[in-house]
Chains A and B, each alone.
Chain A
Amino acid sequence: MASDGGVSCLRSSEMPNVGIGGMELPPLDEVHVLAVDDSLVDRIVIERLLRITSCKVTAVDSGWRALELLGLDNEKASVELQRLKVDMIITDYCMPGMTGYELLKKIKESSSFRQVPVVIMSSENVLTRIDRCLEEGAEDFLLKPVKLADVKRLRNCLTGDVKLSNGNKRKLPEDSVTVNASLPPPPALTTLSTDSSDSSSPPLSPVEVFSSPLSSREDDDDVLTSSPEGSPTPEESPVRRQKMGSPGLD
């Protein structure tokens, strides 16, 4: 539980990495999200939403704290090793001191973190505000109160091209459950390849392993999906999975 005003500890996902049949999955790289919100209630809620979708979460109460963690505050010399590795930053817009917009700008100005997707949350549905954030490079804009469906959508976008901390882009294999029955279920197990070209997936909760097929996200123009944002929606576009060769298939 995050305590008031501070940083909640890096905690791994509450979901045990157990596949179907009770087989223990080795720990997989988890998506790490930095959540920024001055409201404690909102921090707790967003933390829960993110944990449910198998993310590691660090929650802070201000933009300044976020920059400090990222090693982007000007006070200290940025030391490579001290930087937090994040896969996504989700921030409230209205915050005292530094707004989410200002935080977004600082992140996009930094060479180390400009690639990290930044999502803005706001209780106000102001078009000019939304436009401004998107123009500045925000990945998405969520209207509060944030719901699980919103976070799941973000999560699905992330699984497609999560950057490993060493900078290599990671692609996911096709969903072997539907494409090739001879590959062993559950899907998560098939991604444990020792191959360096790597095909690991984010940890799925036991319930999710079969109900939510893995998505693979190609470049935008290759994505065969009817979703308005062009983001992968695994439940709706099984066709896409035909594109990539599955590991084990020729």
Chain B
Amino acid sequence: MDAHVAQLQMQYRNYILSLYQQGFLDDQFTELKSLQDDGSPDFVAEVLSLFFDDCVKLVGNMARALDQTGTVDFCQVGANVHQLKGSSSSVGAKRVKGLCINFKELCEAKNYEGCVRCLQQVDVEYKTLKAKLQDMFNLEKQIVQAGGIVPQVDIN
């Protein structure tokens, strides 16, 4: 059983490290993890869940704003981008945040094609992150179920 736990833990460690190395997560995610403890064991999962709800809502708003026949309200799009940039920053969703920075500039430039493309990228990106984090949480569950402790992963 110990060998199995050890293997899962190593898998978990490697997985987390890869998420950081590939730029999916940044040190704000590390910060969130540090706020979790035995008294609030699901804090990270809860915050991330709210973040992804936010993504669905905001991407929907932006899609509607960009889907106008006639004049597109770029301020409206920009306001939603700003919100998404904020929440992605708060949870450490590095790639999503990076896309939002580009997106904001495209809104300011009123670049319709650019905005539409960027929105598609944002959509793909948050869904990819969601799947990756789901895998991470599943690994955590497996470790606990196998009788082990989820290791603290030192990013540095």
- Residues on A lying within 8 angstroms of B by beta carbon are 1, 14, 38-42, 44-45, 48-49, 52, 94, 96, 123, 144-148
Partner of B46, one of A1, A39, A94, A148: A1
Q: Does B39 contact A (CB under 8 A)?
A: yes
Are the CB atoms of A41 and B82 closer together than 8 Å?
A: no
Instruction: Give 10 CB contacts A-B under 8 Å.
Output: A38-B83, A39-B87, A42-B87, A42-B90, A45-B35, A45-B90, A48-B43, A49-B35, A144-B89, A145-B92
Looking across the interface, which residue of chain A has its beta carbon closest to that of B53? A40
What is the interface of chain A mostly: helix, strand, loop, or mixed?
A: loop
Q: Does B51 contact A (CB under 8 A)?
A: yes
Residues of chain A lying within 8 A (CB to CB) of residue B28: 145, 147
Given A41-B91, A145-B90, output 9 extra A-B contacts at Cβ < 8 Å: A39-B83, A40-B54, A41-B47, A41-B50, A41-B86, A42-B90, A123-B86, A145-B28, A148-B34
Residues of chain A lying within 8 A (CB to CB) of residue B83: 38-39
User: How many A-B residue contacts, CB cutoff 8 Å?
Assistant: 55
Are the CB atoms of B31 and A42 closer together than 8 Å?
A: no
A23 to B79, CA, bound (A): 52
Tell me the residues in window 119-144 of chain B with beta carbons closer than 8 Å to chain A beta carbons: none
Tell me the residues in window 89-139 of chain B with beta carbons closer than 8 Å to chain A beta carbons: 89-92
**Residue among A14, A40, A148 with max Cβ neighbours from chain B (10 Å):** A40
- Chain B interface, number of residues (Cβ within 8 angstroms): 23
A39 to B89, CA, bound (A): 12
Q: Does B156 contact A (CB under 8 A)?
A: no
CB distance from B41 to the nearest CB of A (A): 13
A48 to B39, CA, bound (A): 12
Q: Does B32 contact A (CB under 8 A)?
A: yes
Residues of chain B lying within 8 A (CB to CB) of residue A41: 47, 50-51, 54, 86-87, 90-91
